[in-house]
Amino acid sequence: MAKYIHSMIRVLNEERSVAFYDVCFGLKVADRLDFDSFTLIYLSNPETGTELELTVNKDRQTPYDLGDGYGHVAFSVDDVDAEHARLIEAGLAPRKLVDFAPAGDVIARFFFIQDPDGYEIEVLQRGGRYQ
């Protein structure tokens, strides 16, 4: 059986992105591989074995075009209201909290936030299928 181990996104500024993912999600640098033309930074936290790989292409000066194919990555948290307030306090501008109730019952409570490169991140209340 296959095991999902990481997702990769391309970022312009290593320090800015590492700081964002640390402040927002407690992701720390698990490994950093530096090559002539690019650097790979693997971020993780004790909650999961899955990592986020940041790729920094050293010759890149302009923001990446995220196109219309990228959706989002998602993180679950114990208290989505507290996390939303904490990120507002940190000046990171999360969007409004949403109670998603397509058939009348709330099946998800979440908000979105953008990372420094414009990637969308969903932050969900932990529970149900969102563990």
Active site residue 83: no
* Same domain for 101 and 48: no
* Same domain for 128 and 81: yes
The catalytic position among 51, 53, 120, 122 is 122
* Same domain for 44 and 94: no
Task: Specify the DSSP element, H or E, that contains 19.
Answer: helix 14-25
Residue 85 has pLDDT above 90, yes or no: yes
43 three-state secondary structure: strand
Region 39-59: mean pLDDT is: 95
Domain with 116, as residue range(s), is: 70-131
* Same domain for 123 and 78: yes
126 three-state secondary structure: coil
The residue from 59, 84, 99 where one domain ends is 59
* Same domain for 80 and 45: no
Instruction: Give pTM, 2 decimals.
Output: 0.88
CATH code of 20's domain: 3.10.180.10
Q: Which of 10-24, 80-94, 96-110 has the lowest mean pLDDT?
A: 96-110
* Same domain for 35 and 3: yes
Confidence of residue 80 (pLDDT cuts 50, 70, 90): very high
* Same domain for 131 and 79: yes
* Same domain for 22 and 54: yes
Domain count of the fold of the chain: 2
Q: Give percent of the chain with pLDDT exceeding 90.
A: 81
Confidence of residue 69 (pLDDT cuts 50, 70, 90): confident
Buried residues in 90-118 as b, exposed as e (16+ CB within 10 A): eeeebeebeeeeeeeeeebbbbebebbbe
* Same domain for 53 and 78: no
> Mind listing the pLDDT tens digit for each residue in 50-66?
999 999 999 999 999 98
Tell me if 10 is assigned to some domain.
Answer: yes
Confidence of residue 103 (pLDDT cuts 50, 70, 90): confident
Tell me if 114 is assigned to some domain.
Answer: yes
Q: Which amino acid, one-letter code, is at 109?
A: R
